[in-house]
Amino acid sequence: MEHWFVFSETEMSAIGLSFKVALWCAVLVLPIAVLMGWWLARKTFRGKSLIEGFINLPLVLPPVATGFILLLLLGTKGLIGHWLNELLGIRIAFTYYAAVIASMIVSFPLAVRAIRLSIEMVDPGFEEAAKTLGASTFQSFVRVTLPLALPGIISGFVLSFARSLGEFGATIIFAGNISGETQTIPLALFNQIQMPGMESSAFRLLLVAVLFSFLAMAFSEYLVKKLHKRN
Amino acid sequence: MHALSAHLKRSKGDFSLDIEVDFIQGITGIFGPSGAGKTTLMHLLVGLEKPDEGFLKIEETTMVDTFKNIYEPARNRKVGYVFQEGRLFPHMNVRKNLLFAAKYIPNGKQVIEFTELVNLLELNNLLEKRPKQLSGGEKQRVAIGRALLSSPKLLLMDEPFSSLDVKLRRQIIPYLIKINRKFNIPMLVVSHDLPDLLSLTRELFLLKNGRVLGHGNYLDLIEQENMLDVMRGAGLMNVIQFKVEAHDKKNGLTILSNKDASEEIRIEREMVLDCCQIGDEMNVSLRPEDIALTLEEIPNISIRNQLPGTIVKVIQKENRNYCLVDVGFKLLISITHASLLKMELSEGKKVWCLFKSMALQTNT
């Protein structure tokens, strides 16, 4: 009988990796999502709905399909990937970076949606006021729009963090299931469930997954509430 | 030197605006009914909308010239703009709102000092508050202060009275006059409320359907027939500047004098304690309907103010009749057609203008 609450090395590495991938994913997605959210909230232009549709694609596409597309693009023999490999010697697919990229792609639409909505809620009149006081478009965005949209931006960050924790389909196709390199909690869980006699390991990972997701959501709720109070 | 000169054109759907404005100093009012294009004009001046055609100069700097492809964005124009709704940043306290523009002004280029402005607008107790904790009048003062601290070359105000109730309007006016005098900043004030506007200035631009109908002194404008139509609905008003001469406590009266006139004119006003001190300048407004005309002085009557003068102009418009009488300054008086005929009133005739002390309203 193994010890129920002692984490094995594989489990520990999956937990650590999950956390690292999710954090990097959220950190990298955030600035792009803020820019895109602002752009979609404030600008009207031809082909806007086409761009929106494209951004939201990973939301409805089966993650496995997203992973496959990534592989076709960035795989060693992929459209872009073979150039990276031949010219720069960079290999992305089936590495840690692939896990981060897969997470970023699937969580990007969620982050953009939350951020865009919160920017839309900010009266553009405040930006106009800032401009008449001498601020550039960028300065008025940073000093006025961004702080007013902060609750939405935080929830965008947390959503992409949480989505990354749960990412499975795209990762397993594009990054593989390599222990210590790309095997995050969901992938490790998938492995353990398939193997006979690993129920306790699966159960431990399950607990951690639930705990992580719950903490992320609670933290975001707390921050948003605090901000609402402040404003 | 012009504080501002512009000729701007802009069409939006059915509406087209084609306006020439220029003014030098002091406070200039822009008056017109809603839909006249007042806010559009403000937006063009401040840089929130682009004109289809035209130019804009502030002091001697060209900010817009569509023929030379010049277009300075709002932030470079040095035009302070007080929005109708204030638009204070809700995530900043009053102090941070006021200091928002400070970052964009080079050291030493700050024209108005923070402490001085805070004292003038009486914002000391509000500095740590958030905009949502302020009353309408306080918000307005902060918005004015914030615009002034951007060291503007001129100050534009869009309907500064509309979000305030009558009592607060009376309170904001003295601040505006003080600002204009103290900092010597030309001000352009937009309003659809003529009496409020007149308590600030008599220099007006009259706007209707996106065009300037006329500009100049209010009373000169009234003499031009088509102007009266635009202004009548808004409440015509006499606004005269007086100096407080004395308080007659025994009779409950304040004695006011007007020294702009060739000889000193004294009128009496019902005394309101603490309203003013001797030597104060104040604007007094008087409705044209509250003045009566007689052909001679009437000794035994309760009406205390009786001023002799000469009719400068009789204006007859549909069923309304007005006399413009020079009593040393010009007074607009509303009378009935019957009286006009019965008293045989015509230009050049000597008359007495009678009004009760109680009919005088003070703003400052």
Using CB atoms, pick whichever of B75, B77, B91 lies closest to residue A148.
B91
CATH superfamily to which B4-232 belongs: P-loop containing nucleotide triphosphate hydrolases (3.40.50.300)
Q: Do B85 and A230 touch (CB under 8 A)?
A: no
Q: Do A147 and B105 touch (CB under 8 A)?
A: no
Distance from CA of A137 to the nearest CA of B (A): 9
Q: At A212, which CATH number? A: 1.10.3720.10
Say if residues B316 and B229 touch (Cβ distance below 8 Å): no
What is the structure's pLDDT at A1? 45
Using CA atoms, how far apart are residues B292 and B314, in angstroms rounded to an integer? 15
Distance from CA of B156 to the nearest CA of A (A): 11
In the predicted model, what is the mean pLDDT of residues B10-19?
A: 91
**A218 found inside a domain:** yes
**Chain B contact for A42, CB < 8 A?**
no
Using CA atoms, how far apart are residues B56 and B72, in angstroms rounded to an integer? 10
In the predicted model, what is the mean pLDDT of residues B75-83?
A: 92
What are the two backbone dihedrals, phi and then psi, of residue B96, each rounded to the nearest 5 degrees? -65, -35
Say if residues B161 and B143 touch (Cβ distance below 8 Å): no
Distance from CA of A117 to the nearest CA of B (A): 18
**Tens digits of per-residue pLDDT, B229-280?**
767 666 788 888 788 888 888 877 788 888 666 666 777 777 665 667 777 7
| Angle formed by the axes of helices A150-166 and A199-230, nearest 10° | 180
Distance from CA of A136 to the nearest CA of B (A): 7
CATH 3.90.1520.10 for domain B238-362: no
In the predicted model, what is the mean pLDDT of residues B53-78?
A: 92
What is the structure's pLDDT at A7? 86
> How large is the greatest C-alpha to C-alpha distance in chain B, in angstroms?
71
**Chain B CB contacts of A134 below 8 Å:** 75, 101, 103-105, 150
What domain count does chain A have?
1
For B49, the closest chain A residue by CA position comes to: A128
A window 145-164, beta carbon within 8 A of B:
147-148
CATH 2.40.50.100 in chain B, residues?
A: 238-362
3-class DSSP string for chain B: CCCEEEEEEEEECCEEEEEEEEECCCEEEEECCCCCCHHHHHHHHHCCCCCCEEEEEECCEEEEECCCCEECCHHHCCEEEECCCCCCCCCCCHHHHHCHHHHHCCCCCCCCCHHHHHHHCCCHHHCCCCHHHCCHHHHHHHHHHHHHCCCCCEEEEECCCCCCCHHHHHHHHHHHHHHHHHHCCCEEEEECCHHHHHCCCCEEEEEECCEEEEEEEHHHHHHCHHHHHHHHCCCCCEEEEEEEEEEECCCCEEEEEECCCCCCEEEEEECCCCCCCCCCEEEEEECHHHCEEECCCCCCCCCCEEEEEEEEEEEEECCEEEEEEECCCEEEEEECHHHHHHCCCCCCCEEEEEECHHHCEECC
Which residue has tokens 């990354």?
A164
| Angle formed by the axes of helices A96-120 and A63-74, nearest 10° | 120
In angstroms, the Cα distances linking B189 to A130, A178, B42, B232, B357 are 20, 71, 10, 19, 30
How many residues in total does chain A contain?
231
In the predicted model, what is the mean pLDDT of residues B73-88?
A: 92
Q: Do A134 and B150 touch (CB under 8 A)?
A: yes
Tokens describing residue A41:
């909230």
Q: What percent of chain B has pLDDT over 90?
A: 36
In the predicted model, what is the mean pLDDT of residues B197-202?
A: 85
**A78 found inside a domain:** yes
In the predicted model, what is the mean pLDDT of residues B164-180?
A: 78
Q: Do A133 and B73 touch (CB under 8 A)?
A: no
Q: What percent of chain B has pLDDT over 70?
A: 94
**More reliable by pLDDT, A220 or B101:** B101
Tokens describing residue B228:
């009266």
In the predicted model, what is the mean pLDDT of residues B291-315?
A: 89
For A138, the closest chain B residue by CA position comes to: B75
For B101, the closest chain A residue by CA position comes to: A133
**Chain B CB contacts of A148 below 8 Å:** 89-91
**Chain B CB contacts of A136 below 8 Å:** 75
For B81, the closest chain A residue by CA position comes to: A132
Q: Residue A176 sits in which domain range?
A: 9-230
CATH 3.40.50.300 in chain B, residues?
A: 4-232
Range picked from A171-185, B303-317, B328-342 for highest mean pLDDT = A171-185
Using CA atoms, how far apart are residues A103 and B298, in angstroms rounded to an integer? 94
CB–CB contacts below 8 A, A to B: 61
A148-157, B220-229, B327-336: least confident range: B220-229
Mean pLDDT for back-to-back runs of 10 residues, chain A (231 residues): 74 93 96 95 91 92 95 90 88 93 96 94 94 94 94 91 93 93 93 88 91 88 79 59
Say if residues B289 and B203 touch (Cβ distance below 8 Å): no
Q: Do B89 and A133 touch (CB under 8 A)?
A: no
Q: Which residues contact B42 (CB under 8 A, 6 or more apart)?
A: B81, B156, B158, B188, B190
Letter string b/e over residues B159-169, b meaning 16 or more CB atoms within 10 A of that residue's CB:
bbbebbeeebb
pTM of the model: 0.81
Q: Do A143 and B105 touch (CB under 8 A)?
A: no
Distance from CA of B169 to the nearest CA of A (A): 23
Residue B48 in this model has a pLDDT that exceeds 50: yes
**A3 found inside a domain:** no
CA nearest neighbour of A103 among A181, A50, A195, A171: A171
For B149, the closest chain A residue by CA position comes to: A133
Q: Do B85 and A132 touch (CB under 8 A)?
A: no
Say if residues A98 and A92 touch (Cβ distance below 8 Å): yes
**A198 found inside a domain:** yes
Residue B217 in this model has a pLDDT that exceeds 90: no
